[in-house]
Amino acid sequence: MGSLAGVVLTYQTLKYQVDGQFSYQSRNEANNFEAGDVTRLDASLQYRLLPRKLTDGLPNFLYGVIELNWIHQDKNRINGNADPNSGGTRLFLTPGIQYVSKRWIAEGAVQIPLSQDLNGTALENDYIARVSVRFNF
């Protein structure tokens, strides 16, 4: 079993929020295969689009989101030998939208690759689409 460590910093006002994250995930070997460790740096800006002006009560919110995601993965290892066609560094620009209500949050984003410096014939990403819904209890 691997381990995961990270730090998240957030600054928030009533109009926008800025987030930064660093994480490192070590991965262990199983059945003579070990996926490469992963290091990530993420930065995000969420800007309130609606409501334009706050009034009394707790309204629903619509945010525009823009993120920058830097991901480095070490080479995978098979039987202790590095796979020359794995690992590398990717940089994504991720525009998205987020709807926040009192009880739930819906969001969607598309990670668009800006740079993919991969090893050998490692597979590149065309894009990555993400959609999620969260419920508050």
Q: Name residue 95's beta-bridge partners.
A: 66
Q: What is the pLDDT of residues 46-55, one digit of tens each?
A: 999 999 988 8
Kindly state the average pLDDT of the residues 49-66.
91
| Whether 24 contacts 37, CB under 8 Å | yes
Residue 59: the pLDDT is 87
Q: What is the pLDDT of residues 122-134, one digit of tens each?
A: 999 999 999 999 9
Residue 16: the pLDDT is 96
Instruction: Tell me the whole-structure pTM to 2 decimals.
Output: 0.89
Kindly state the average pLDDT of the residues 19-30.
96
| Domain ranges, ordered by start, for the chain | 3-135
Q: Which residues contact 90 (CB under 8 A, 6 or more apart)?
A: 69, 70, 71, 72, 113, 115, 116, 117, 118, 125
Residue 119: the pLDDT is 97
